[in-house]
Structure 1
């Protein structure tokens, strides 16, 4: 039996969360200020800002056996298996230091550190039996139940440097020039809630851990800084030219296996294993394994295939703000290495049985994508409207785990067209609210062609999708997704306190996204949602109580060799169906 260490773990109920919220509000100081240095030197502006955040999360319902019995999902599900278990107990701090002289030269440094007290006990699994003589524990994703270094750093405790750059603003022949060098983020285009479809795609790595733990977070807030240089020149009052050259590369920070919000137990940016659900008994002696019945086995994770740190990744942008319209148009070209991995495998052919078996699985990242884009932003009355269209050549497509290619270094590639349109609408005073905003976005992707490794493409009508069914995770030629963030607000409900109700819903309207990672990046019937109440306290701190949930379409079920039924396939992240949770988040700056 696994030792769950539960005798000291008391469920935290909603009344206790509410009481804690009231206590934190009462403890707030009357005023909070960033620290401003008095250098005694004319023209210098030096500031040091700190933001402290605390998030307490509680599982809202227990394990659904149809999810927990799946050997690819049980680690994440049984880590916190009971309603009321604390799924995150995270304290973090963000520190930011900026110094500038007359706003034309300066530098900025920022860093963050965190500790989550809910993850200290390591990995856990289904306590049952997967197959006769084979426990779920023996098939767990982490050796000896100990998290890998990546999971330890980003879930248990860690720190990171964020921004670290210098800037210089000058003029040449009467034209303003803005230079920046160091580690920072660049964000082009108008996409707000469509990170895989926007012009900003892979312009920086994305924090997927934050994306799935905080539904409704904008794309810009998910970007991770990278080393680069950039320049913008104001050619005329209406025309500007910008350039970006990247001096470093980083992968997307994915939710890892064995954590509460995960895609699959095997997803790890570090040593792990991929569970294959069936292994015919006749194959066991060929692999040097003892004879026996059919049951699953673990495939080791091999080394990731990553691009060089400097790989001629750059971007150019031409901006135009014509006088006849209240808005701007931009034209883009980017050459990029992607930050979202394919999950590939190397295979061993067994000719006598007309089959092949994987010898390892590994992550690989696509290089040299070309992107051409156009964006428009303007206002229609009080509404801010954004539009963008982009064409990507040889971008990574949804790729199947298939032995069609035995030694795999790249997955399927293709050409896609993306269109994103959005609006930010201010809420007028009404009997239901005083003010607020409504943000809505629709993203459309059209697969123009599959250009490389078509036999691996997990799409309807292709060999990589034997079921030929979008509800089974197979990509479609067209995909439409959407996102809505609705936040009505009530001012001065209590002295110094404004209240709002942040509510978000993102998901797929039709089809399955052909862009890698396929259904995990958008699928019909896959939704993330949250609803909450937020208090803005004296304009310096926020306290937010939210309910966060997920929904995916389950397509087929299966039975383990020990006779336990489980959900086996679907569209989207089906393992999150039983993992709604309640979050209490507090944030204050000083």
Structure 2
């Protein structure tokens, strides 16, 4: 039977439990038991100082052969040619350092940072050695851009959290606030697929590049904290309210084109250009169109009346998207450019319910987005289209829903215990407010002569994510063994929103995890990707979802992690 506190711990410790969709099924499934860090004795019981350092080493090897049709496509060849079967695709060392100071458990500060180095990546992209594609690399002279070199090879690092916090009582109402770089996550979604359809969508940018490169990374390392002010007040025993106001904007990080898990060569911030055609030549990557740095915000309320025996949530957020639309623009004299466009002034209204029923922790959400960016004619899906001009892309209104469950199974003859999670997601576009001529959907001009198997949006989308982890305790003294399994798939239709999901597009993983004295964690995993594409005799001509182009990228990963 699942204890309520167990479900709460699973949701709190693994807020993206398995984080599985669009090619990252396994990355966060098995959140390892918290390792012991280093607490500094201050000699004052009111003053606590803690410094934790997590070291992780990850080695990955490609075990699946190259799909020649993916390798013969000018928009996907460089990723699959970046490493061959049997080659090392990552040889990466990561450090996460966290420093926390608290005073009487109500005031304090937190600073964290990350550093990394991956010996599998140098300064030169491998490129496609086969003509004519060897003459049109997305990186000029096959040299990785500074951006790609920094975030893939390194050595490099960055600041993550940097905030102060405090709490006061206003009358009988306790109020807690944070100021600085931190992350918030509202709602009940578990999986990344759920997050894409949740009230928490784009509440935090995520570092998916790190997640793809580092299986076993913890959820807290994928959040990209932003400068903001946030507060929460417990008005009554069963009602709390919260709010946030953003002082900074930043985008998701996504696997870059020309790297092993980059599905398309031109995306996103790393590649220099994309080849269009012999007549048009290259489109050069231009500066992104980004929203202003401040102005996002939201309000939330959590209500837990005794009669409900659960918690309802109510949410409103105004935000700027952190995933881009991509547009080809004609800048004159036969020169083309493509830009990443980030939409702003999006409103989301949502309601959630969390409840324990028969020992299982259930969560659900229903939300409505107004003026959200919709899938558009993007470079690579529809090559050869005329330049699209200075546009912000199609916008519209969409509905989103999810339901999930988390449970724990007791001891059986097969295992000592097992955790499981399942999530079903749904979305529907309601109307198109602007840019209908660019909306990549069935029945619209951009999809003339095409259907959902070419990636065209359908009216409704349904997807699912599953995770199951049996565990065997004390297989040797001080050693626990687990077997995390994950599967994520688009069941029906193609979502209208960016990276919202596509039918038959997904991923799966099979792994073994070893915890030694709850301090040293070893993970061995096989990870692979699913999807459908159309082709001619030699190359992919269209695909249903960009990560379909990773379906030949199956790899084995071995990870070691410890905290001190």
TM-score of the pair, normalised by structure 1: 0.85
Aligned counterparts, 1:216-231, within 5 A: 222-231=222-231
Whole-angstrom CA distance in 1 between matches of 2:35 and 2:188: 33
Change (3 A) 1:413 1:32: closer
Q: Which residue of 2 aligns with 1:74?
A: 77
Pair 1:588 & 2:554 matched: no
Q: Which residue of 2 aligns with 1:500?
A: 482
Whole-angstrom CA distance in 2 between matches of 1:32 and 1:324: 39
Preserved contact between residue 54 and residue 92 of structure 1 (Cα < 8 Å): yes
Shift of 1:41: 2.7
Q: Which residue of 1 aligns with 2:159?
A: 161
Whole-angstrom CA distance in 1 between matches of 2:244 and 2:413: 48
RMSD: 2.0
Q: Which residue of 1 aligns with 2:345?
A: 368
Say which SS state the counterpart of residue 457 (structure 2) adopts: coil
Say which SS state the counterpart of residue 547 (structure 1) adopts: strand
Q: Which residue of 1 aligns with 2:14?
A: none
Say which SS state the counterpart of residue 550 (structure 2) adopts: helix
Q: Which residue of 1 aligns with 2:505?
A: 526
Whole-angstrom CA distance in 1 between matches of 2:502 and 2:241: 37
Shift of 1:358: 7.1
User: Where in structure 2 are there 5+ consecutive unaligned residues?
Assistant: 1-33
Find 2:522's aligned residue among 536, 540, 543.
Answer: 543
Whole-angstrom CA distance in 1 between matches of 2:121 and 2:183: 30
Whole-angstrom CA distance in 1 between matches of 2:325 and 2:368: 20
Preserved contact between residue 283 and residue 328 of structure 2 (Cα < 8 Å): no
Whole-angstrom CA distance in 1 between matches of 2:332 and 2:36: 66
Say which SS state the counterpart of residue 260 (structure 1) adopts: coil
Whole-angstrom CA distance in 1 between matches of 2:332 and 2:158: 43
Change (3 A) 1:510 1:581: same
Shift of 1:197: 0.5
Pair 1:569 & 2:551 matched: no
Shift of 1:32: 7.5
User: Where in structure 1 are there 5+ consecutive unaligned residues?
Assistant: 1-30, 131-135, 285-295, 351-356, 559-564
Whole-angstrom CA distance in 1 between matches of 2:36 and 2:324: 42
Preserved contact between residue 66 and residue 80 of structure 2 (Cα < 8 Å): yes
Whole-angstrom CA distance in 2 between matches of 1:55 and 1:166: 33
Shift of 1:538: 0.4
Q: Which residue of 1 aligns with 2:111?
A: 109
Q: Which residue of 1 aligns with 2:95?
A: 93
Preserved contact between residue 113 and residue 161 of structure 2 (Cα < 8 Å): yes
Which region of structure 1 is more displaced relative to structure 2, 401-410 or 432-441? 401-410
Which region of structure 1 is more displaced relative to structure 2, 580-589 or 121-130? 121-130
Shift of 1:433: 1.1
Whole-angstrom CA distance in 2 between matches of 1:544 and 1:145: 34
Q: How many residues align?
A: 522
Shift of 1:42: 3.6
Aligned counterparts, 1:266-415, within 5 A: 266-270=266-270, 272-276=272-276, 278-279=277-278, 284=279, 297-310=281-294, 312-347=295-330, 359-401=336-378, 406-415=388-397
Q: Which residue of 1 aligns with 2:140?
A: 143
Deviations 1:549-584 (A, max 9, x none): 0011012326xxxxxx11221212232121100000
TM-score of the pair, normalised by structure 2: 0.89
Change (3 A) 1:587 1:215: closer
Which region of structure 1 is more displaced relative to structure 2, 443-452 or 71-80? 71-80
